[in-house]
């Protein structure tokens, strides 16, 4: 914890110089500061992480948080949100953590429209364990466990999330901070399951900076509520080593989220009690 009122804790930061996690942390901090000025209390935020380089972010924030297990950030976040629907729960996860170990949880949280925000630090490599391939590593990726290169295509996460029923799907890039910041804010304010796939620079094991700098562009968000448009935008890039790569909110729609707000649950509970009493009177 930090002695002053800063959102950043005193914990020693061990991310590598040039790591995109710094930019994600900065963007989240700036959004939380802005929301605090608009009346959201700091105590209303809860951060949850999985395991990986990304996960240290919860140590580096001076906020309520839960450092969970590998791949289990979503069930923990879901439990917190179900226990107290008034909280704003932000899940941080890595691409190995979320798209391999935790994939089943991700699909079902999207399907249920659990009202949480998921920020995937997608560096397309297992950084903490020094460079193994993940579900979003490109075909041919050479890592310590795959010196001859991988012979399987990457998973198109955007298509998968749209197919799972996610009500907010977006992609951002850790070097485009103002854009990333705007998307994080919209995701936090979205009522329902919001997912941001952040192309995060891993400066040490898979540095894609030049490729992303050249290939990413901000796509139009004029038709974000149209599912077919979202699918077409999501298909524009298949996580290969060929661009161009659209960024932005691809899909945003309203579907009744889970859980209901506390007041609504209370009203439902009182209605149920009244019905029971009427039946016995
Ligand atoms: Fe960041 Fe990669 Fe270093 Fe991990 S290994 S801290 S992802 S640069």
Ligand 1, atom 3, residue with closest C-alpha: 16
Instruction: Output the pLDDT for position 262.
Output: 58
Q: Give residue 277 CA to ligand 1 midpoint distance, Å.
A: 60
Instruction: Say what the pLDDT of residue 259 is.
Output: 84
Which phi and psi angles does 184 have, rounded to 5°?
A: -60, -45
What is the pLDDT, as a whole number, of residue 73? 97
Burial class (CB in 10 A: 0-12, 13-18, 19+), 17: exposed
Highest CATH level, class, for 21-279? alpha beta
Q: Which residues on neighbouring strands pair with residue 246, listed in sequence order?
A: 217
pLDDT the model gives residue 155? 97
pLDDT at 2: 52
Q: How far is the CA of 38 from the centre of ligand 1 (A)?
A: 34
Q: DSSP of the chain, one letter per residue?
A: --SSS-SB-SSPP-PPTT-THHHHHHHHHHHHHHHHHTT--GGGEEEEE-SSGGGGHHHHBSS-EEE--TT-HHHHHHHHHHH-TTSEEEEEEEHHIIIIITHHHHHHHHHHTBS-EEEEEE-SSBTTTTSB--TTSPTT--BTTBTT---SPPP-HHHHHHHHT-SEEEEEETT-HHHHHHHHHHHHHSSS-EEEEEE--BTTTB--HHHHHHHEEEPP-TTTT-HHHHHHHHTT--SSS---EEEEEEEE-----BSPPHHHHHHHHHHHHHHHHHHH-
This prediction has a pTM of: 0.92
Per-residue confidence (pLDDT) for residue 4, from 0 to 100: 61
Q: Which atom of ligand 1 is nearest to the CA of 123?
A: 7
- What is the Cα–Cα distance from 14 to 20, expressed in whole angstroms? 13
Q: Given ligand 1 and candidates 21, 23, 201, which is best to mutate, with the most ligand atoms within 8 Å of its CB?
A: 21
The tens-digit pLDDT sequence of the chain (281 residues) is 555 679 999 999 999 999 999 999 999 999 999 999 999 999 999 999 999 999 999 999 999 999 999 999 999 999 999 999 999 999 999 999 999 999 999 999 999 999 999 999 999 999 999 999 999 999 999 998 999 999 999 999 999 999 999 999 999 999 999 999 999 999 999 999 999 999 999 999 999 999 999 999 999 999 999 999 999 999 999 999 999 999 999 999 999 998 866 566 667 777 788 888 888 77
Q: Where are the domains of the chain?
A: 21-279
| Residue 50 exposure: Cα atoms within 13 Å on the Cβ side | 30
Closest to 81 (Cα-Cα) out of 211, 203, 188: 188
- Give distance in angstroms: CA of 127 to centre of ligand 1: 5
Strand partners, 32: none
Quick one: 126 exposed, middle or buried, by C-beta within 10 A (0-12, 13-18, 19+)? buried
| Nearest residue (CA) to ligand 1, atom 2 | 202
Ligand 1 centroid, distance to 23 Cα (angstroms): 12
DSSP structure string for 31-44: HHHHHHHTT--GGG
What distance lies between CA 47 and its chain's CA centroid?
Answer: 11
- Residue 71 contacts by C-beta under 8 Å, 6 or more apart in sequence? 50, 51, 97, 98, 100, 101, 102, 103, 105
Which residues does ligand 1 sit against, CB inside 6 Å? 15-16, 19, 21, 53, 123, 127, 202-205
User: Residue holding tokens 């949880």?
Assistant: 105
Query: What's the pLDDT at 263?
Result: 63
User: pLDDT value at position 270?
Assistant: 76
Question: How many angstroms separate the CA atoms of 95 and 200, rounded?
Answer: 10
């Amino acid at each position: 914890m930090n002695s002053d009122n800063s959102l950043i804790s005193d914990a020693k930061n061990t991310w590598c110089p040039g790591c995109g996690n710094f930019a994600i942390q900065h963007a989240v901090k700036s959004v939380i500061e802005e929301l605090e000025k608009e009346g959201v209390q700091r105590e209303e935020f809860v951060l949850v992480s999985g395991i990986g380089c990304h996960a240290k972010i919860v140590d580096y924030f001076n906020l309520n948080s839960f450092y969970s297990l590998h791949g289990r950030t979503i069930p923990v976040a879901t439990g917190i949100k179900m226990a107290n629907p008034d909280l704003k729960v932000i899940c941080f996860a890595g691409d190995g953590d979320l798209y391999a170990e935790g994939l089943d949880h991700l699909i079902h949280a999207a399907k249920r429209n659990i009202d949480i925000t998921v920020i995937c630090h997608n560096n397309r490599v297992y950084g903490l364990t020094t460079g193994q391939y993940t579900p979003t590593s490109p075909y041919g990726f050479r890592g310590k466990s795959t010196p001859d290169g991988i012979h399987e295509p990457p998973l198109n996460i955007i298509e998968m999330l749209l197919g799972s029923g996610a009500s907010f799907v977006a992609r951002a890039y850790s070097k485009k901070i103002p854009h990333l910041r705007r998307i994080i804010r919209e995701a936090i304010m979205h009522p329902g399951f919001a997912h941001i796939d952040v192309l995060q620079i891993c400066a040490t094991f898979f540095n894609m900076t030049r490729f992303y700098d050249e290939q990413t562009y901000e796509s139009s968000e004029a038709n974000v509520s149209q599912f077919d448009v979202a699918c077409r935008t999501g298909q524009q890039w298949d996580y290969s080593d060929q661009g161009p790569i659209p960024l932005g909110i691809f899909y945003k729609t309203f579907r009744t989220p889970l859980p209901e707000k506390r007041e609504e649950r209370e009203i439902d509970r009182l209605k149920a009690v009244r019905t029971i009493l009427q039946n016995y009177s």
